[in-house]
């Protein structure tokens, strides 16, 4: 079964990054065409420098973030399945830019871990520099939303007692397939599929701290720059990845992000 009605083709207004004719380009999607840009679509003054057919391009990670800020235990049921207490404020951690891969790229399980888990997430892409932003104004600083997989070496997370090593291996942050400007509604399904079978799901409205409140909270800790991303937490149902599988993250109304595992 599929985990929600996610677009398989770029919806109206979607933008991101593609590889075409050996070059990596920022772009906007328009039906069967791709408008190539000289800079990210969310930056002022983005200019068209060419076009291509959708069938002729390869989708890349739609953003190369300067910072990847993630929140732990943002779904109560996920905290319960890990037997961890929900905290009064969001638990923040960071993943390195070197962990980012795009649609279709391979998640590589490190030899030093025996349990590498998928974690389906809605991801917020920051569009404007922001610091100490009130929740009521947070939407003005969002470029859009994409899908993410917070791949985690669960055994190392338990051993270390903190999360940096477990979350930071190369290939541990798939993002994509594109960015949509509109926020998914509270009833939008966030899910993971293995081999086309749903193994995890929750809803945007199940989050303890919603995406805009999270942006406000994080901006009170650190300045967020255009292109930074916020991973908003994963619903219950996380589980292990095995070599040879394909994991697909689905966010209803946003897209589908598939990656093979090796």
Task: Please check whether residues 192 and 153 belong to one and the same domain.
Answer: yes
Tell me how far apart the terminal alpha carbons of the chain are, to the nearest angstrom: 24
Task: Please check whether residues 128 and 191 belong to one and the same domain.
Answer: yes
Question: Would 5 be classed as within a structural domain?
Answer: no
CATH number at residue 203: 3.90.850.10
What pLDDT shows up at residue 15? 98
Question: Would 45 be classed as within a structural domain?
Answer: yes
Percent of the chain at pLDDT exceeding 70: 94
Task: Please check whether residues 112 and 36 belong to one and the same domain.
Answer: no
Residue 2 has pLDDT above 50, yes or no: no
Residue 4 has pLDDT above 50, yes or no: no
Question: Would 197 be classed as within a structural domain?
Answer: yes
| DSSP secondary structure letters along the chain | --SS---SSPPTT-EEEEEETTEEEEEEEETTEEEEESS-TTSTT--EEEEEEGGG-EE--S---S-EEEEES-BHHHHHHTT-PPPSS-EEEEE-GGGEE-TTPPB---TT-S-EEE-EEEEEEE-S-BSS--GGGGGGGEEEEEEEE--EEHHHHHHHSSSHHHH-STT-EEEEEEEESSPPPTT-EEEEEETTEEEEEEEGGGBSS-HHHHHHHHHTTS-B-TT-EEE----S--EE--TT-EEEEEETTTEEEEEEB-
167-182 pLDDT per residue, tens: 999 999 999 999 999 9
Task: Please check whether residues 55 and 72 belong to one and the same domain.
Answer: no
Distance (Å, whole) CA 102 – CA 27: 15
Question: Would 6 be classed as within a structural domain?
Answer: no
105-121 pLDDT per residue, tens: 999 999 999 999 999 99
Question: Would 230 be classed as within a structural domain?
Answer: yes
CB-CB contact of 29 with 16 (8 Å): yes
Distance (Å, whole) CA 73 – CA 132: 23
What pTM was computed for the model? Answer: 0.94
Task: Please check whether residues 98 and 148 belong to one and the same domain.
Answer: yes
Task: Please check whether residues 181 and 163 belong to one and the same domain.
Answer: yes
Question: Would 83 be classed as within a structural domain?
Answer: yes
Task: Please check whether residues 73 and 31 belong to one and the same domain.
Answer: no
Instruction: Note every long-range contact of 51-58, with CB atoms under 8 Å and residues 24 or more positions apart, other chains counting.
Output: 52/18, 52/20, 52/21, 54/9, 54/10, 54/29, 56/20, 57/18, 57/19, 57/20, 57/27, 58/18, 58/19, 58/20, 58/104
Task: Please check whether residues 237 and 213 belong to one and the same domain.
Answer: yes
Measured from the Cβ of residue 35, the count of other Cβ atoms closer than 10 Å reads: 18
What pLDDT shows up at residue 6? 64
Per the prediction, the chain carries an average pLDDT of: 94
11-42 pLDDT per residue, tens: 989 999 999 999 999 999 998 999 999 999 99
49-99 pLDDT per residue, tens: 999 999 999 999 999 999 999 998 898 766 677 666 667 789 999 999 999
For residue 35, what are the domain limits?
15-59
What pLDDT shows up at residue 79? 64
pLDDT band at 194 (very low <50, low <70, confident <90, very high): very high
Query: Total structural domains in the chain?
Result: 2
Task: Please check whether residues 49 and 145 belong to one and the same domain.
Answer: no
Kindly state the average pLDDT of the residues 147-159: 96
More confident residue, 4 or 96: 96
What pLDDT shows up at residue 12? 86
Question: Would 232 be classed as within a structural domain?
Answer: yes
Task: Please check whether residues 88 and 186 belong to one and the same domain.
Answer: yes
CB-CB contact of 215 with 141 (8 Å): yes
Task: Please check whether residues 114 and 217 belong to one and the same domain.
Answer: yes
What pLDDT shows up at residue 72? 86
Task: Please check whether residues 176 and 214 belong to one and the same domain.
Answer: yes
Question: Would 255 be classed as within a structural domain?
Answer: yes
**Pairing state between β 239-240 and 229-231:** unpaired
């Amino acid at each position: 079964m599929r985990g929600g009605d996610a677009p398989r083709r770029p919806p109206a207004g979607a933008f991101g990054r593609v590889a075409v004719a050996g070059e990596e380009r920022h772009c906007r999607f328009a039906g069967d065409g791709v408008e190539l840009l000289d800079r990210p679509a969310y930056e002022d003054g983005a200019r068209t420098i060419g076009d291509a057919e959708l069938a002729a391009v390869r989708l890349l990670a739609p953003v190369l973030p300067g910072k990847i800020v993630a929140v732990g235990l943002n779904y109560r049921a996920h905290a319960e399945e890990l037997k961890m207490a929900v905290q009064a404020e969001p638990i923040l951690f960071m993943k390195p830019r070197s962990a980012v891969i795009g649609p279709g790229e391979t998640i590589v399980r490190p030899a030093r871990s025996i349990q590498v888990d998928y974690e389906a997430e809605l991801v917020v892409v920051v569009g404007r520099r922001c610091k100490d932003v009130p929740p009521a104004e947070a939407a003005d600083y969002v470029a859009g939303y994409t899908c993410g997989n917070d791949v985690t070496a669960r055994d190392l997370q338990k051993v270390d007692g903190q999360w940096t090593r477990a979350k930071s291996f190369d290939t541990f942050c798939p993002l994509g397939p594109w960015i949509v400007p509109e926020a998914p509604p509270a009833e939008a399904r966030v899910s993971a599929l293995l081999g086309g079978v749903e193994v995890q799901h929750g809803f945007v409205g199940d989050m303890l701290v919603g995406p805009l409140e999270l942006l406000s909270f994080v901006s009170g800790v650190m300045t967020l720059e255009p292109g930074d991303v916020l991973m908003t937490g994963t619903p219950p149902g996380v589980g292990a990845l095995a070599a040879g599988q394909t994991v697909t993250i689905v966010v209803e109304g946003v897209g589908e992000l598939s990656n093979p595992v090796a």
